[in-house]
Amino acid sequence: MWSRLEHRPVILTMPLWGAERIRGERLKLDIRVATSTIQRYLREARPPRQVGLPWATFLRNHAPAIWACDFLPVTDLLFRPLFAFFVIALETRRVVHVGVTRHPTDAWVAQQLRVATPFDQQPTYLIRDNDSKYGPAFARVAAASGIAELRTAYRAPRQNAACERFLGSVRRECLDHVLVLGEAHLGRILREYARYFNRDRPHQGLAQRTPETVTAGAARGEQGGRVRAIAILGGLHHAYARAA
């Protein structure tokens, strides 16, 4: 008799197996069960996340190999448009690259991808939206680097949630509090914020760690001594460390 206790570990640990695959594995152990019986229990035990959230499951399973990119429109002090381009590593939330321009042409965006992937340090997948700024040159650079582009659906910001959350943080924690003078000024501001974001800003989604400690492993600091505050962005934020 095929009991629930006997079949449940097989189905829960191998959620992608079908009824025939499970039947074949059991026949190897000389356990004979009808396919219809396996199908009945399979419907009961199949984890719903594999069916209901395929995109979320894909991101969770392949997070170490996925980067995401997006644009943030900015207006300077004279009401002139600027565009900031970010590339983020999905698993660690690390800001891989920051670029700023007034004219985000296809050639410029393609060059940003080259700069973000030096020495064969590239992801397997790159999530992006359907913005027309990503043109043929960008696609050629991605293909030459072995990167598969994953385009999000229209009006589906949750498919690129990591970038959307980061862009919100950039606005709330940085750009809403400064006056941007121009392209070079914006580049300096965002590069400094990216360093703060990677090295010093704790993330709730990373168990209050920073992206760089997730990558390199958390190092224990000194237990005693005074704590000093290091000003970031002119005092808008601070990093804290033990005084030497």
**Cβ-count burial of 106 within 10 angstroms (0-12 exposed, 13-18 middle, 19+ buried)?**
middle
pLDDT of residue 10: 45
The position carrying tokens 């829960």 is 12
| Rounded CA separation 171/178 (Å) | 10
179 Cα distance to chain centroid: 29
pLDDT of residue 9: 43
| Rounded CA separation 175/193 (Å) | 10
Residue at 88: amino acid letter: I
pLDDT of residue 46: 58
Average pLDDT, the chain: 85
Say yes or no to pLDDT of 7 above 60.
no
User: What is the average pLDDT across 73-87?
Assistant: 97
User: What is the average pLDDT across 83-111?
Assistant: 96
Over the stretch 19-63, which tens digit does the pLDDT of each residue have?
A: 888 888 888 888 888 888 888 877 766 555 444 457 778 888 888
| Rounded CA separation 214/19 (Å) | 39
pLDDT of residue 33: 86
Segment (H or E) for 69: strand 66-75
